[in-house]
A and B are shown apart, each in its own frame.
Chain A
Amino acid sequence: GNSVTQMEGPVTLSEEAFLTINCTYTATGYPSLFWYVQYPGEGLQLLLKATKADDKGSNKGFEATYRKETTSFHLEKGSVQVSDSAVYFCALGHSGGGADGLTFGKGTHLIIQP
């Protein structure tokens, strides 16, 4: 079946550091890939997405590239801020059409220290 694996953390970085959160997936067909972010006490918000191989999603300085050959969708940011502290979820949407439910990774807790 479909699955998503990501580093769980917590990941602690200093402000302005470079960020990478790894995400790999197992899926049949050609899924869409997502990164969602959850701030304390809130629901999940879409951060970025990619719907086909080699697509790059980007938003708020974050980027991730859909790599089919390595089944990966790693999240990167060149210079993190304290306000980026949150839990980040990698997710895949099933292929074949239809708004199916998402399969999520366990989430990575990111802590940015000033």
Chain B
Amino acid sequence: DAGVIQSPRHEVTEMGQEVTLRCKPISGHNSLFWYRQTMMRGLELLIYFNNNVPIDDSGMPEDRFSAKMPNASFSTLKIQPSEPRDSAVYFCASSLDQSPGTTQYFGPGTRLTVL
């Protein structure tokens, strides 16, 4: 199995630019999660989807962040406009089903640097 695929692995951009992060979940998984990791705040859940539908986006920091899942095999996280404080590693994860205790499988992450 290919695992969760994220692209790009590294992104360097300037403040004010639009950034789009991409994720392909494991085939057959119906839940998808976006997390952000920083030294100060650790790992934070941003948003998650079940069957392509956003369920909880309360972790999205502000309106500059948006996420979509147009189909079961693709999701995007967009930041517009980007700011230096958005610099972090962004992880996508997927899980097979919605049962309690189900394992989440993480991608390798996208390291975003906003100058």
Contact = CB atoms under 8 A, between A and B. Distances in A.
Interface of A: 32, 34, 36, 41-46, 49, 51, 89, 93, 95-107
Given A32-B100, A44-B43, 13 more contacts: A43-B91, A44-B93, A51-B100, A95-B100, A96-B100, A98-B100, A99-B31, A99-B95, A99-B97, A102-B45, A104-B43, A107-B42, A107-B43
B42 A49 contact: no
Contact of B102 (A42, A96, A99, A104): A99
- Max chain B CB contacts within 10 Å: which of A43, A44, A46, A98? A43
B79 interface: no
A32 B98 CA distance: 13
A49 to B, nearest CB: 6
Contact of B48 (A32, A89, A99): A99
B58 to A, nearest CB: 10
A99 B103 CA distance: 9
Q: How large is the interface on B (under 10, 10 to 19, 20 to 34, 35 or more residues)?
A: 20 to 34
A103 B43 CA distance: 8
Nearest to B33: A101
A114 B22 CA distance: 39
Contacts of B107: 43
A99 B43 CA distance: 17
A51 B43 contact: no
Contacts of A95: 100
Interface string B54-65: 011001000000
Contacts of B70: none
A93 to B, nearest CB: 6
